[in-house]
Amino acid sequence: MKADIAIAGGGVVGALAALMLSKRLPQSRIAVVDAAPADGRDPRTLALAYKTQQLFDQEGLWQGQAAKHAAAIEHIHVSDRGGAGSSTLHAPRQQVQALGYVVGAHYIQQDLIAACQQQANISWLSETRVAQVQQHQNEVQLNLQGKETGDLSAKLLIAADGANSTTREQLGIKLQRTDYNQVALIANIELDKHHQQWAWERFTEAGPIALLPQPGREVALVWCVSAEDAEAITASDDSTFVRQVQQAFGYRAGRFLKVKDRASYPLSLLLAERTVHHRAVVLGNACHTLHPIAGQGYNLGVRDVESLVRVLTQSHSEDPGNYQQLLDYEEDRADDYRRIIGLTDGLVRVFSNTYPPLVAARNLALLALRGCPLFNYPLARLAMGYRDLSAIKGTMPEKRGS
């Protein structure tokens, strides 16, 4: 089997790349190799920044299941429990209907697969994995196993098969791992009153807690706790868990009534040491998996796709795997990575720390954000998914080995 572009991973990043490339390069043959069944359900809840939702709308992806089941984030409240510092962001002040949206990843996936099925130049190979990668001068050859078997050759390989990417491993790209010694506890919680489209980010002694609006009176919980505390909390029954979250968060969002869909996962910063390789590029979580404290993970992956599509479609080369093009992509993404990854890592270290001078400093920072719109502006742009954050700068975390 031959293709111009092969994409390993048909999730919410890989499928978006396939769709956007198929529209802009209609003569190119695109093959998506996805280990999951075509009707597989991604259990994650994603926070879509305003700019991500705008891209979905432009691509015709905001008329289906995702739009139907999305909850708008119209207001954001950031606070440090026990301190006076807090800051708020409001969509009307940014002259938009919403700062972002919260939606189940499986709804986005449904819309993406349906759209890809309408593109004649996309072949979708479900329940199939890339078992081996061989890079040659003019092509990359993939050995497939699963529902489809045999070899697939392409001019460009896009690795978008998630944080545990086997394709990245096959390419010999090493992973830099920073363990935060934290666990994310996720769940859906029913409130005693409607959330009025508010999202809350609260920094507590028990760890950062985010509540994101869902349809009705529900909110999606992301509670980042120490690995030591996680074991006891995850072992608690639902009623005890609700009391624990309420005690840690307080009553700013109202009373917590019920919980469902509880899950947990360890938190690390994962960075691929290389973004591009010979006839290959790594996108999304396969390239960078972030702490959820700033809600930027999926949005950063979407910007990966935007950048790669722009570079490939604006190039004068008919070879999508041309190495100079891939280097252009790498250069285009470098500044966004430095800013967002560095900023996210810094937030984890500052807002997950109970050292008194740091607590006082972050309260002062939140007070400054509340009192000065000039400082508030870049925070709003971060939440909305803009690459240009003006005053916000980040530094990539130091390499700590793999």
Nearest CA-CA partner of 302 in 230, 246, 384, 235? 384
* pLDDT score of 394 more than 50: no
Nearest alpha-carbon partner for 250 in 96, 79, 375? 79
Q: How would residue 83 be classed by pLDDT, with cut points 50, 70 and 90?
A: low
- At 80, the pLDDT band (50, 70, 90 cuts) reads confident
Which pLDDT value is given to residue 8?
98
pLDDT score of 55 more than 60: yes
347 pLDDT band, cuts 50/70/90, is confident
- Other Cβ atoms closer than 10 A to 116: 20
* Residue % of the chain over a pLDDT of 70: 86
List the domains of the chain with CATH numbers. Answer: 5-41+105-176+269-341 (3.50.50.60)
Strands 128-135 and 100-104, sheet pairing: unpaired
Residue 93, pLDDT above cutoff 80: yes
Q: What is the pLDDT of residue 147?
A: 95
> Are the CB atoms for 14 and 158 separated by under 8 Å?
yes
Tell me the pLDDT band of 395, cut-offs 50, 70 and 90: very low
Q: Residues 130-146: what's their mean pLDDT? A: 97
Q: Mean pLDDT across the stretch 64-75?
A: 96
- The model's confidence at residue 40, banded by pLDDT at 50, 70 and 90, is confident
pLDDT(376) > 60? no
* Separation between Cα atoms, residue 249 and residue 78, nearest integer Å: 12
CB 9 within 8 A of CB 34: yes
Comparing C-alpha atoms, which of 187, 34, 231, 226 is closest to residue 123?
A: 34
Q: Is residue 156 pLDDT above 90, yes or no?
A: yes
What confidence tens digit (pLDDT) does each residue in 291-329 have?
887 788 999 999 999 999 999 999 888 999 999 999 999
Average pLDDT of the chain to the nearest whole number: 88
Q: What is the model's pLDDT at position 206?
A: 80
Residue 380: its pLDDT value, please? 65
pLDDT digit string (tens) for 246-282?
999 999 999 999 999 999 999 999 999 999 999 999 9
The better pLDDT of the pair 283, 366 is held by 283
Least confident window among 75-79, 152-156, 218-222, 387-391 = 387-391
Residue 135, pLDDT > 80, answer: yes
Q: Which position has the higher pLDDT, 398 or 238?
A: 238
Residues 187-211 have a mean pLDDT of 92
* Angle at alpha carbon of residue 64, lines to 63 and 68, rounded to 5°: 90
pLDDT at residue 391, rounded to an integer: 40
pLDDT at 390 over 70: no
Q: Note the pLDDT of residue 301.
A: 97
Residue matched to tokens 């005693």? 192
DSSP 2: B
pLDDT tens digits, 211-247? 999 999 999 999 999 999 999 999 999 999 999 999 9
**Distance between start and end Cα atoms, the chain:** 36
User: Which residues are 186's β-sheet partners?
Assistant: 222, 263
Residue 373 has pLDDT above 80, yes or no: no
* Averaged pLDDT, 367-376: 46
Confidence (pLDDT) at 377: 54
The Cα–Cα gap between 118 and 172 comes to 34
